[in-house]
Amino acid sequence: MGASLLDQVLAETLDPAYARAAEAKAARAAGDPPDGARRRPGALVVALTMALAGLLSAVTYDQAASGEAGREEVRAALVEDIGAQSATTDDLAAELEDLRGRVADARDDALAASAVGQRAIDDLRAAELAAGLDTVTGPGLLVTLADAEPDADADPVGGSGDDGSGDVRDGDLQLVVNALWAAGAEAVSINDQRLGPTTAIRFAGEAVLVDFRPVTNPYRISAIGDPEELRARFLASPEVNALAVISESYGLRFEFAQEDELSVPAGGVPELRSAAPFTGQPAEAAAGGAGG
């Protein structure tokens, strides 16, 4: 009893380091690997997993970078193509304008030889003016509409505070143009885009289109006519007064000024459309006859 108690006391008071050393010695004697050796395969698995994760991350980053570079390359190519096509369009438009002027000079020379021809020239010029096919220069009214200044408190990431209410819309430009026509304007343009009887002002995405051509902020509307009369009748329009209140509320810039000389460019030649009598049988009548 005493010997057993002594062994137990000695075992419990043995230093932990000695105990681990004794266990390791016993394990080696029995042929078992030590704890460090048993843990080594697990450490190798963790290391391999980390290496594989790093490799996958590197491959993913490389693919993302190459994809971004590819998109930038495509975008640059598209911008270059747009620039080249725009330059070609401008050259063709200039050539068309030159040829149109030559044709007009030859026509006037041919018609001016007789009184009837001279009257035809006068009528033709009046029609061209009404259709917006001739450049007009003279005094008038210059109206400027511009988007509100950016809000310093707006969130650039979340977009809070910017709901588009401070942007000029197609309806605003339509209202101003119609008010100018009603005030007696002889010719009107928006950012050097001539307006004619069939001109459309539309909003597409974030751009305002005038006859499918984009115009950008600020919007300068030039109206040729008597400045005093244009100003008085323009300001008397209730729609213009309503737009002034809206502009004040949302921070839009709405200004006008009388100008001694404005220039409104010529517009494009409109597509001629004509109606022809229908000689066939109406669809409703044909359907009724077939049913009866």
Q: What would the pLDDT profile of 168-221 be if each residue is shown by its tens digit?
A: 988 999 999 999 999 999 999 999 888 988 888 998 877 888 888 888 899 999
Spell out the residues 6+ positions from residue 197 whose beta carbon is closer than 8 angstroms to its own.
130, 131, 132, 270
Domains, the chain, with CATH or none: 45-134 (no CATH), 136-149+166-264 (3.30.70.1880)
Q: In angstroms, rounded to a whole number, what is the distance separating the alpha carbons of residues 168 and 208?
A: 9
Dihedrals phi, psi of 7, to nearest 5 degrees: -60, -40
Q: In angstroms, rounded to a whole number, what is the distance separating the alpha carbons of residues 213 and 199?
A: 11
CA distances from 140 to 120, 189, 194 (A): 28, 12, 15
Q: Which helix (H) or strand (E) holds 214?
A: strand 213-215
Q: Is the pTM of this model over 0.85?
A: no
% of the chain exceeding 90 in pLDDT: 22
> What pLDDT does 190 receive?
94
> What pLDDT does 112 receive?
83
Closest CA to 166 of 149, 191, 143, 190: 149
Beta-strand relationship, 201-204 and 207-210: antiparallel
> What pLDDT does 156 receive?
46
Q: In angstroms, rounded to a whole number, what is the distance separating the alpha carbons of residues 230 and 240?
A: 13
Give SS3 for 208: strand
- Position with higher pLDDT, 207 vs 287: 207
**152 in Cβ contact with 242 (< 8 Å):** no
Dihedrals phi, psi of 256, to nearest 5 degrees: -150, 155
- Average the pLDDT over each of 33-42, 84-93, 131-140, 269-278 and give the range with the smallest value: 33-42
> Prior bond to 214 cis, omega within 30?
no
> What pLDDT does 15 receive?
55
> What pLDDT does 44 receive?
72
**135 in Cβ contact with 266 (< 8 Å):** yes
